[in-house]
Every structure is written in structure tokens, then in C-alpha cells.
Amino acid sequence: MSIVAVVGRPNVGKSTFFNRLIQRREAIVDAVSGVTRDRHYGKSDWNGKEFSLIDTGGYVKGSDDIFEAEIDKQVELAIDEADAIIFMVDVESGVTGMDQEVAKLLRRSKKPIFLAINKVDGASRMNAALEFYSLGFEYQYNLSSINGSGTGELLDDLVKALPDTEEPDDSELPRFAVVGRPNAGKSSFINALIGKDRYIVTDIAGTTRDSIDTKYDRFGFEFNLVDTAGIRKKSKVKEDLEFYSVMRSVRAIEHCDVIILVFDATRGFDGQVENIFWLAQRNNKGIVILANKWDLVEDKETSSVKDYEKYIRQQCEPFVDVPIVFVSVLTKQRIYKAIETAVEVYQNRSKKVKTSELNDVMLPIIQNYPPPAYKAKYVKIKFCTQLPTPYPSFAFFCNLPQYVKDPYKRFIENKLRENFDFSGVPITVYFRKK
């Protein structure tokens, strides 16, 4: 699929334009400059032609700010991989020195450049837009990202300049969300996996703000990896931007298949990590726990892994059937093992057990260990089946479902896990009237 990058200095309206074209509020929009940091991908189409759109951070030449230096690197990478570039400027500010720096960078790229003059939302601003001819680009368009005026002419010419390519639809690919607290190593984990600096990584908590997809297609595996912002306690979230970032992360959990929960092993499996774990469990998602920075843990002994694993499982009770992988993203220790485990968990979540096999295994167990009598009433379970849900859920049909209590439900769940591999996946058990 052809790739179009939206570039420009900070705060000219690139993310608003991006959201309009993909018809979703994917990128966070705020009056503060520098909100977008990583390259943000989405799909758009015009006149029957699909293309990938990249939203980039604002380009700032020669800044001492650690984020702006990293954002510049991301912008240059986006320009390299794009087939065409939309260069966005702001009519309110006129031509600035930064616009001229971006123009120099783009002219070196030899790619088709479409100059989009944003915020031209009235006839009075048409004349002001004429000064942008000084930047020397052939294609110049007056538009407004907020109300959409003028975007049609730009898109008409843009799709004509794109090469004819086709790509199979990857919307049905499994989605693996990488979640955790700030600074646990989530972005570094994805960068290490894909072998590129796809995401900005710094020691400052809150570097990642949006939840961003990356297609992974290596070693026989194919799925979408979703990098998310770190999730902190509500009381710690002070600014609107972080609130929206956390909400995007929660939404990413709700819309994925498997959660890769990354935590800093030097800080421990603390209360906030547990909260993220239980959020994933309540949403019936597959879960893999990654203890990152294991190489930095001091005073390790032969039994350290087993002891630490036992401690994590105690925190996760009663849902203890979760794979735990000890990794170091920095040294790439066991990161591919983590992905193999996540794929296995996805397969477990998608597993369907034949009704005949399920009854052959479970009914003899139930006969030997029936539900305890309640008020002198005996529960008789005659039949069971797996329900057609996206995650493992089972219905057991009996005469008195109201008398089956939680301890027996957990017993049934444990027997299902013993006989059918559902490692890393929450199981729901229902008892229904025969």
C-alpha cells in the first residue's frame, strides 16, 4: 500500500488532519506543541484508492530538547519510507524559519510534495496564503483541518501521484497490546523485536502518548503489535494529555486479543501492575507477563527465577495459570521467547473443544466429585458445551444451577485447565438450567 507522510513544524494541525482522513480520533490533539512524538499510522482512501497515512511529530531543527531531537529522527524516517509527502503549514503564523528548514529537508527527498496551508477557513485568509509560494513548491492547497474545506482538491491530486500497489487486508490479524507502567520498557521491547527505532525511547516517564500499531511479520508469525502509554494511578495523572494517553491505553486493552504486560523487575510486581493485570483479566484477554530488566536485578541466585515467579503468582491469585517470561530488552534476552509465548496464548484463547470430547473428559470428573449438597438438594450435571464466544467460556447444564457456588466453579475451571491447555487465558464457567 502506498504511504503518505504528513510533516511540518509543531502545532500546525497535522494530527487534526490525520484524524479527519482516517475518520477516527486516533491521534491526540492539543493546543500544546509537541503532543505527537512517534510516527502514527492509519489507513485512508480517496476515490477508491487506499493508502497508509503517517502522522509525524513537529519538526524542530537544532533544538536541545531531548524529545524534539528524537521527533526529528522519526520525521526523517517517515520521509524516507513515504511515497508522497503532505507538508503542512499554518496561515496564521505565515512563513517561519522552521517552515523553511522543513522545506529544505523535503526538497532533498525527491518525493512528490503537496504543500497544505492549514487554517484557511475564510476568504480573508486566501490572500495571506499567497506568501507560501516563496517556499517554492508546485502543488499548493488552501484547506482547514477542522472543517475539512479544501481537502478534496488536495486528495484528488495526491492519489494521482501515488503508485498503484495492492496489499492484503490485515484487519483480521491478531492484536497484541504491550502495556504496563511508565518506563517499564514497552517501546524498547517493540523496537528490539522489529529491529528499528520505530518508537521514541527516553528515561522520562510518559514518553509514549498514543497507542500505535505496528505490523509484525517475522519467523512465521504475523500480527499487530500495539505500543501503549504507561498507565499510572488516577491520582498521579495531572494533565489532560496524560489522561487521554491513559484512556487510549485502556481502549487498546479492550480492543486487543493478548496483553503483553511488561513490568520493571527492579521495581517489583506492584499494585499498579496488578491493576493492569486485573483490567486485562476482566476483559477476558490472553495475558503474558514479562519481567523486564532482569539483567539489572542484583544478588540473583539459582532459585531466583522460581522464587520471583512464585511471588508474582501469589499476587495474581486465583488466576495463576499465566506464563511469565524473564527478559532484558536491552540485551534482547528472551524477547523472541516472549513473542512465541504470546502467540501460544492467542491460540489457547481461540481454541475450540469438541462437545463430545469435553463431555467425555468432564462428566466422569463431575461424577466422582459432584457439587456439595445445599439445603439437602443435590445438583446433577448432565451435559456441558463450549459457547461460541471469542474467549473460552463453557456452559454446564444441571437441575439446580442456583446452588452451585464459586468454590465449585473454580474447581471446574481448574479441571478444564488440567485437561485442555488454556494457559494465559481467563475461562468463564456458567451453570444453566437443563
Determine the residue type at 31: A
356 is in an annotated binding site: no
> What DSSP element (H or E) covers 382?
strand 381-386
291 is in an annotated binding site: no
Residue that is written with C-alpha cell 508546485 in the block: 138
378 is in an annotated binding site: no
318 is in an annotated binding site: no
Please give the Cα distance from 269 to 266 (Å, whole number).
9
371 is in an annotated binding site: no
Angle at 411 between CA 405 and CA 415, to 5 degrees: 145
**How many Å from the N-terminal Cα to the C-terminal Cα in the chain?**
53
380 is in an annotated binding site: no
278 is in an annotated binding site: no
15 is in an annotated binding site: yes
Instruction: Quickly count: other Cβ atoms within 10 Å of residue 251's Cβ.
Output: 13
181 is in an annotated binding site: yes
9 is in an annotated binding site: yes
| 189 within 8 A of 264, measured Cβ to Cβ | no
406 is in an annotated binding site: no
377 is in an annotated binding site: no
294 is in an annotated binding site: yes
186 is in an annotated binding site: yes
| 174 within 8 A of 344, measured Cβ to Cβ | no
121 is in an annotated binding site: yes
325 is in an annotated binding site: no
58 is in an annotated binding site: yes
The bridge status of strand 40-46 relative to strand 49-55 is: antiparallel
410 is in an annotated binding site: no
268 is in an annotated binding site: no
The bridge status of strand 428-433 relative to strand 393-398 is: parallel
Q: Which residue in 331, 352, 332, 351 sits closest to 343, CA to CA?
A: 351
14 is in an annotated binding site: yes
DSSP class per residue in 339-350: HHHHHHHHHHHH
120 is in an annotated binding site: yes
41 is in an annotated binding site: no
Phi, psi dihedrals of residue 12, rounded to the nearest 5°: -100, -5
229 is in an annotated binding site: yes
Please give the Cα distance from 128 to 94 (Å, whole number).
8
31 is in an annotated binding site: no
228 is in an annotated binding site: yes
183 is in an annotated binding site: yes
Angle between helices 240-254 and 271-282 (to 10 degrees): 40
Residue ranges for the known binding site are 8-15, 55-59, 118-121, 180-187, 227-231, 292-295
Binding residues for GTP: 8-15, 55-59, 118-121, 180-187, 227-231, 292-295
